[in-house]
Amino acid sequence: MKLNLLLIFLFIQLLAAGQSNQFLIYSMKGQVIIKENGNETKAKVGHLLSPNASLEIGANSIVTLICDQINLFSIDKKGKYNLTAYTDSCKKNYGSFTGNYLRYVWAQMSQKQTSPGTNRKLYMNTIGAVSRSVNNIWIDPRLDTIIYSDGYFPLAWKSYAEADRFDFYMYDNNTKGNVLFSDSTSEMQVAINTLQHLLKPGYYFWSAAVKGQQNEERKVLKIVTTKERDQLIDRLRNITLAYESEAETAFRLGFQLEEAHYLADAYNYYQKAATLQPDQPVYRQTFMSFKKDYDIK
Amino acid sequence: MKYLFRRDTFFATFAVFISMGMLALLPLNLSVLNPFRVALEDFDFNDMAYSELKKNQETPVDDRIVIVNIGYSDRLTLGRILEVVSADSPKVIGLDVMFDNDKDSLSDAFLFEQLKATPNLVLASKIDWSNDQILKESVFKDTSIKLGFVNFVGTQKGTIRYFSPIEKENNHVHLSFASAITQKADPHAYQKLLDRKKTIETINYTRHQHKYALIDGAQLLEGLVVDNIFKNKIVLLGYVSTSPFDIEDKYLTPMNEKFAGKTFPDMNGVMIHANIISMILDGSYIKKIPSWITWSLAIILTWLHISLFIRYYIDEHIWFHLVAKIAQLISAIFFVYLGLFLFNRFNVKLDMSITVVAIILAIDVLYFYEALALWLHKKFNYQTIFHTNSHNHET
User: How many Cβ atoms sit within 10 Å of the Cβ of residue A138?
Assistant: 13
Q: Chain B contacts of A214, Cβ < 8 Å? A: 101-102, 139
Average pLDDT, chain A: 80
For residue B104, the chain A residue with the least C-alpha distance is: A213
Q: Which of B285, B316, B345 is the last residue of a domain?
A: B285
CA separation for the pair A74, A29 (Å, rounded): 11
User: What φ, ψ does residue B270 adopt, rounded to 5°?
Assistant: -65, -30
Tally of domains within chain B: 2
How large a percentage of chain B has pLDDT more than 70?
Answer: 93
B269/A130 touch (CB, cutoff 8 Å), yes or no: yes
H or E element at residue B312: helix B291-314
Say if residue B303 is in the same domain as residue B164.
no
CA separation for the pair A154, A194 (Å, rounded): 10
A128/B99 touch (CB, cutoff 8 Å), yes or no: no
CA separation for the pair A213, B195 (Å, rounded): 44
Task: Chain A: give the shortest CA distance to residue B279, in Å.
Answer: 17
Task: Chain A: give the shortest CA distance to residue B52, in Å.
Answer: 25
Largest CA distance in chain B: 91
pLDDT of residue B217 exceeding 50: yes
- Say if strands B92-95 and B121-127 run parallel, antiparallel, or are unpaired: parallel
Task: Chain A: give the shortest CA distance to residue B242, in Å.
Answer: 15
B150/A11 touch (CB, cutoff 8 Å), yes or no: no
CA separation for the pair B174, A74 (Å, rounded): 67
Residue B164, SS3 per DSSP: coil
User: How many Cβ atoms sit within 10 Å of the Cβ of residue A34?
Assistant: 19
Say if residue B306 is in the same domain as residue B219.
no
| Torsion sign over Cα B187, B193, B197, B200 | negative
Q: Chain A contacts of B96, Cβ < 8 Å? A: 128-130
pLDDT of residue B339 exceeding 80: yes
Alpha carbons within 13 A on the beta-carbon side of B216? 7
Q: Chain B contacts of A3, Cβ < 8 Å? A: none
Say if residue B306 is in the same domain as residue B243.
no
Output the pLDDT for position B231.
95
Whether B323 is in a domain gets the answer yes
DSSP label of A19:
P
- If you write DSSP's letter for every residue of B11-51 in order, what string do you get? HHHHHHHHHHHHHHH-----GGGHHHHHHHHT--GGGHHHH
Q: Chain A contacts of B139, Cβ < 8 Å? A: 133, 214
Residue of B211, B294, B232, B213 lying closest to B89 (CA atoms):
B232
CA separation for the pair A89, A85 (Å, rounded): 9
pLDDT of residue B99 exceeding 70: yes
CA separation for the pair A270, B108 (Å, rounded): 46
Output the pLDDT for position A87.
76
CA separation for the pair A249, A61 (Å, rounded): 18
How large a percentage of chain B has pLDDT more than 90?
Answer: 63
For residue A8, the chain B residue with the least C-alpha distance is: B32
Residue of A76, A68, A65 lying closest to A30 (CA atoms):
A76
Whether B394 is in a domain gets the answer no
Output the pLDDT for position B394.
42
Helix axes B7-25, B291-314, angle to 10 degrees: 120
Task: Chain B: give the shortest CA distance to residue A130, in Å.
Answer: 5
| B366: containing domain | 7-25+41-50+289-388
Say if residue B353 is in the same domain as residue B248.
no
B150/A123 touch (CB, cutoff 8 Å), yes or no: no
B102/A124 touch (CB, cutoff 8 Å), yes or no: no
Amino acid sitting at position B120 = N
Q: What is the pLDDT of residues A146-165, one digit of tens each?
A: 999 999 999 999 887 778 89
Q: For chain A, list residues with pLDDT below 70.
A: 1-20, 68-72, 90-114, 133-134, 240-242
Whether B255 is in a domain gets the answer yes
List of residues 6+ apart from B139 with CB closer than 8 A = A133, A214, B99, B100, B101, B102, B108
Whether B31 is in a domain gets the answer no
CA trace torsion B94, B95, B98, B103 (10° rounding): -150
Residue A194's region, left for phi above 0, alpha for psi from -120 to 50, else beta, is: alpha
Whether B81 is in a domain gets the answer yes
Output the pLDDT for position B33.
54
Residue of A128, A127, A118, A116 lying closest to B128 (CA atoms):
A127
CA separation for the pair B258, B50 (Å, rounded): 10
> Which residue of B129, B203, B266, B276 is the best one to mutate when testing the A interface, meaning the one whose CB has the most A CBs within 10 A?
B129
Average pLDDT, chain B: 89
Say if residue B252 is in the same domain as residue B304.
no
Output the pLDDT for position B140.
84
Output the pLDDT for position B178.
97
Domains in chain A: ranges and CATH: 14-90 (no CATH), 137-223 (2.60.40), 226-293 (1.25.40)
Say if residue B172 is in the same domain as residue B105.
yes
pLDDT of residue B203 exceeding 70: yes
Which residue has better confidence, B72 or A198?
Answer: B72
Q: Which of B224, B252, B285 is the last residue of a domain?
A: B285
* Section B194-211 average pLDDT: 94
Whether B91 is in a domain gets the answer yes
| Torsion sign over Cα A169, A172, A175, A178 | negative
Range from B23-37, B112-126, B340-354 carrying the lowest mean pLDDT: B23-37
* Section B4-17 average pLDDT: 92
Residue B220 vs residues A235, B86, B224, B236: alpha-carbon distances, Å: 68, 12, 6, 14
Q: Which residue from A11, A124, A127 is facing B164, i.e. has the nearest CB?
A: A124
CA separation for the pair B34, A41 (Å, rounded): 48
Task: Calculate Rg over the CA atoms of chain A.
Answer: 25
Say if residue B229 is in the same domain as residue B375.
no
DSSP label of B159:
B
Largest CA distance in chain A: 75
Whether B307 is in a domain gets the answer yes
Say if residue B277 is in the same domain as residue B295.
no
Output the pLDDT for position A10.
39
Q: Which residue from B155, B177, B248 is facing A130, i.e. has the nearest CB?
A: B248
User: How many Cβ atoms sit within 10 Å of the Cβ of residue A18?
Assistant: 7
Say if residue B252 is in the same domain as residue B312.
no
Residue of A212, A191, A215 lying closest to A138 (CA atoms):
A215
Q: Chain A contacts of B104, Cβ < 8 Å? A: 212-213
pLDDT of residue B233 exceeding 50: yes
Q: Chain A contacts of B124, Cβ < 8 Å? A: 129
Output the pLDDT for position B393.
47
Q: Which of B285, B315, B330 is the last residue of a domain?
A: B285
Task: Chain B: give the shortest CA distance to residue A59, in Å.
Answer: 53
Say if residue B297 is in the same domain as residue B165.
no
List the beta strands (DSSP E) in A96-210: 126-127, 130-131, 137-138, 145-148, 154-156, 158-159, 166-171, 179-185, 189-191, 202-210
Count of A-B CB contacts under 8 Å: 125
* Section B23-29 average pLDDT: 62
Which residue has better confidence, B384 or A8?
Answer: B384
Q: Which residue from A7, A124, A131 is facing B151, i.e. has the nearest CB?
A: A124
Whether B33 is in a domain gets the answer no
Q: What is the pLDDT of residues A187-217, one digit of tens each?
A: 999 999 888 777 889 999 999 988 877 787 8
- Residues of A numbered 129-158 whose beta carbons fall under 8 angstroms of chain B's beta carbons: which are they? 129-133, 135-136
B151/A126 touch (CB, cutoff 8 Å), yes or no: yes
Say if residue B252 is in the same domain as residue B348.
no
- Residues of A numbered 93-122 whose beta carbons fall under 8 angstroms of chain B's beta carbons: which are they? 108-113, 116-117, 120-122
A127/B269 touch (CB, cutoff 8 Å), yes or no: yes
B99/A133 touch (CB, cutoff 8 Å), yes or no: yes
Q: What is the pLDDT of residues B84-93, one digit of tens each?
A: 999 999 999 9
H or E element at residue A180: strand A179-185
pLDDT confidence tier of residue B156, bands split at 50, 70 and 90: confident
Say if residue B303 is in the same domain as residue B322.
yes
Q: Which residue from A108, A130, A215 is facing B30, i.e. has the nearest CB?
A: A108
Which residue has better confidence, B268 or A109?
Answer: B268
Output the pLDDT for position A20.
60
Q: What is the pLDDT of residues B294-307, one digit of tens each?
A: 999 999 999 999 99
